[in-house]
A and B are shown apart, each in its own frame.
Chain A
């Protein structure tokens, strides 16, 4: 029983991290209709930025998150204005090609800059844990989970209640009508992509405190974020949080009851099931 409780807690904490990683991918996909295959590579960049801030400048990884996020926001804004706006209304295949190319370029630039060596963001408290009865709560994961929930709620409030957020949603729903109301789509697209990357940057910082970093972690992370976005739905950030938690728990339980090699089988099996039964995601509006 204690073990099951621990496994569930592991799953929930893992799921929170998953959710924050997938949040940016889902936003960009939902609003811009761009499946950003470079998303994982941007998480990797965020992780390296966090690592650099911590090891070279002594900035605590959690305090460094806003800096990393801001830097990636600027990068995202520029990329959308300079590159991706060119293909925003082109067939999906073009955006896939461009973002895949970005992924390759970023990965190899990272290897040039940082070599293939492994890095870890290892502040003194990274290995600390709280004991809650028989259950151990790893502090870094708990903090990552807290940030994940805060970012999700923040995104949700922002999209629902802020002027900019409403403009973003309006553009996603009806570009022509949004234009009539004075929305400038090119700027808005860039803000959205910037936000997506800011979330990836923050997620990278959190990821680096629990996992090792190397230039090649991106592709696997993109695949995971892709699955979570589909399972949770692209409509709202709460769906992505639910998708992440769901996947984290399923993977942990599968590892315990079936075997660790089946964790990936389970997550992608669920992806297929969700696509089949609820194509717009667990919390998405029924199609």
Chain B
């Protein structure tokens, strides 16, 4: 082999290699988030990781995000905050300052969103989050936080409407709530609703987050013969609440929970004991909710279940809407500039599989909550904006009469 040819080989290789990658890779837009993948709230945190991932995959498959006529690919940078708020704040700071992600997606839970949104605000990088509903998050005149959960203060709104429409109307109501940002907001919003509905509040009790023993509260409910019990708490607490209600033979006419009832895992853990439990959701997978990327909410739910092996609930739909809102805003701004995306977010309006997305001046959206109830092995829609959808199973019979 001639020396010239030998010398030419590396050059030839270089030409061949660069030829193979001649089509330049699409530029990437990185969305950053810190999520509870481990730790006590990992059970709900996974909805957000899974929702972000399926949304990003779907949008990329459909050609990505077109900015300035150039298609961009979406990528995720996700940290596990181990259910630790302080770690979560540090991770968001790292996402913005070290990793230089383009835009932020939110964590799960109000207390996290409350702390993490301060990072978004400080560095002026918009965060769209679908995991925090507390009104506190949006009452601080922050400009860079947007939320896709219905306001916590109105979580029980439709439930209170339903209480008035029930026959017989419950003579007394107990309001129990955990002492964290979300549940305190729920209680603050529910109190005036109960008052204006003319319902007598027999108990109004705040309990410690992660409480495991509800025997004393349940005994009071029984002793005061409370008809309707509204609990704003976490799934672990509500599981214990229901099990202990059964073991103490406490059966009010109705009980309703802010969380748990829509999630498959909750119903699985309680089995037949979940029957009659009321809850609420701002989202159910209906074909009426049209979507640009998934077709509609029903198709989304099928794709989600096929990919992850469990049913999506409103957390998942809300997470998908977060990614979509950012994509719409980037397209609307035709830019990746965080300030321009922020302004576009404030104006964005679109229909998604989660419902109509439009942020108010504080950055929150409003979606009506539908009252749902576990009826046998089904989750039934019971009460919505137009009144009863299906007949509720009410009053709840005594535990030994089921």
Q: Which residues of A contact B (CB under 8 A)?
A: 2-3, 6-7, 10-11, 13-14, 108, 111, 116-120, 122, 126-129, 131, 136, 138-141, 210-212, 214, 216-217, 220, 251-252, 255-256, 259-261, 263-264
Q: Which of B206-222 contact A (CB under 8 A)?
A: 206-208, 210-213, 215-217, 219-220, 222
Q: Residues of A contacting B85 with CB < 8 Å?
A: none
B115 at the interface (CB under 8 A from A): no
Residues of B within 8 A of A (CB): 38-40, 42-43, 45-46, 83, 179, 205-208, 210-213, 215-217, 219-220, 222-223, 235-236, 239-240, 243-244, 246-249, 265-266, 268-271, 273, 399
A120 cross-chain contacts in B, Cβ below 8 A: 239, 243, 269-271
What is the minimal beta-carbon distance from B233 to any residue of chain A, in angstroms? 11
Q: Are B248 and A138 interface neighbours, CB within 8 A?
A: yes
B-chain residues with CB within 8 Å of residue A129 when the two chains form the complex: 247-249
B residues within 8 A CB of A255? 216-217
**Docked-complex contact A117 and B269, CB < 8 angstroms:** yes
Cβ contacts under 8 Å, B268 to chain A: 117
Chain B interface main SS type: helix
| Alpha-carbon distance between A230 and B82 when the two chains are bound, in angstroms | 30
Tell me, in angstroms, the Cα distance from A140 to B266 when the chains sit together: 21
Whether A136 and B249, one on each chain, are in contact in the complex, defined by CB atoms closer than 8 angstroms, is yes
Chain A residue numbers with a CB within 8 Å of B223 are 2-3, 6
Closest Cβ of chain B: how far from A98's Cβ, in Å? Answer: 21
Closest CB in chain A relative to B39 CB, distance in Å: 6
Can you spell out 12 A-B residue pairs with CB atoms less than 8 angstroms apart? Answer: A3-B223, A6-B222, A11-B216, A111-B38, A136-B249, A139-B247, A210-B243, A212-B236, A216-B40, A216-B83, A220-B212, A260-B207
Which residues of chain A are within 8 angstroms of B83 by Cβ–Cβ distance? 216
Q: Closest Cβ of chain A: how far from B265's Cβ, in Å?
A: 5
When chains A and B are docked, how far (Å) is the Cα of A13 from the Cα of B216? 12
Cross-chain contact B273 with A212 (CB below 8 angstroms)? no
A116/B247 in contact, CB under 8 A:
no
A118-B265, A120-B239, A261-B207 known, 12 other contacts, Cβ within 8 Å:
A11-B216, A116-B45, A122-B273, A126-B247, A128-B247, A136-B249, A210-B243, A212-B236, A214-B40, A261-B206, A261-B208, A263-B211
> Is B179 a contact of A3 with CB atoms below 8 Å?
no
Q: A122 vs B244: C-alpha distance in the bound complex, in angstroms? A: 12
Residues of A within 8 A of B240 (CB): 211-212
Q: Are B213 and A14 in contact (CB under 8 A)?
A: yes
B243 A212 Cβ-Cβ under 8 A: yes
Q: Which residues of B contact A214 (CB under 8 A)?
A: 40, 43, 236
Min Cβ gap A6→B in Å is: 5
Whether A126 pairs with B269 at a CB distance below 8 angstroms is no
Q: Considering the chains assembled together, what is the distance between the CA atoms of A79 and B291 in angstroms?
A: 55
* A259 engages B206 (CB within 8 Å): yes
What residue in chain A is nearest B268 (Cβ atoms)?
Answer: A117
| Chain A residues near B206 (CB-CB < 8 A) | 259-261
| Cβ distance B236 to chain A, nearest Cβ, rounded Å | 6
Shortest beta-carbon distance, B244 to chain A, in Å? 7
Contact A264 B243 (CB under 8 A): no
Taken together as a complex, chains A and B put the C-alpha atoms of A36 and B64 apart, in Å, by 53
Q: Which chain A residues border B239 with CB–CB below 8 Å?
A: 118, 120, 212
Given A136-B248, A138-B247, A260-B205, check contact A118 B236 (CB 8 Å): yes
CA distance A7 to B247 in the complex (A): 14
Contact A252 B216 (CB under 8 A): yes
**Residue in chain A with minimal CB distance to B37:** A116
Task: Give bound CA distance, A217 to B239, whole Å.
Answer: 14
User: In the assembly, what is the distance between CA of A171 and CA of B207, in Å?
Assistant: 44
Q: Which residues of A contact B222 (CB under 8 A)?
A: 6, 136
Instruction: Tell me the nearest residue of chain B to A117, going by C-beta.
Output: B265
**B211: which of A108, A116, A260 is its contact (CB, 8 Å)?**
A260
Chain B: minimal CB distance from A16 (Å): 13
The reply to whether B208 and A211 form a contact with Cβ atoms under 8 Å apart is no
Q: How far, in whole Å, are A46 and B240 apart by their CA atoms in the complex?
A: 18
Given A3-B223, A127-B399, A210-B247, answer yes or no on A122-B271 (Cβ-Cβ < 8 Å): yes
Which residues in B have their C-beta under 8 angstroms from that of A210?
243-244, 247
Say yes or no: B236 contacts A7, CB within 8 Å. no
Considering only CB atoms, which chain A residue lies closest to B272 in the complex? A122
Question: Contacts A3-B223, A220-B210: A116 and B216 contacting too (C-beta < 8 A)?
Answer: no
Known: A3-B220, A211-B212. Is A127-B265 also a contact (CB below 8 A)? no
Complex: chain B residue closest to A140, CB-CB:
B247
CA distance A255 to B271 in the complex (A): 29
Whether A10 and B46, one on each chain, are in contact in the complex, defined by CB atoms closer than 8 angstroms, is: no
A29 to B71, CA, bound (A): 64
Taking the closest CB of chain B, its distance from the CB of A251, in whole angstroms, is 7
For the complex, give the distance between the alpha carbons of A256 and B244 in Å.
17
Q: How far is the CA of A54 from the CA of B340 in the complex (A)?
A: 57
Report the Cα distance A141→B210, complex, angstroms.
Answer: 20
Asked if A141 and B247 sit within 8 Å, CB to CB, the answer is yes
Ranked 3 nearest A-B pairs via Cβ = A138-B247, A127-B246, A260-B207
Closest to A130 in B: B249
Q: How far is the CA of A164 from the CA of B1 in the complex (A)?
A: 86
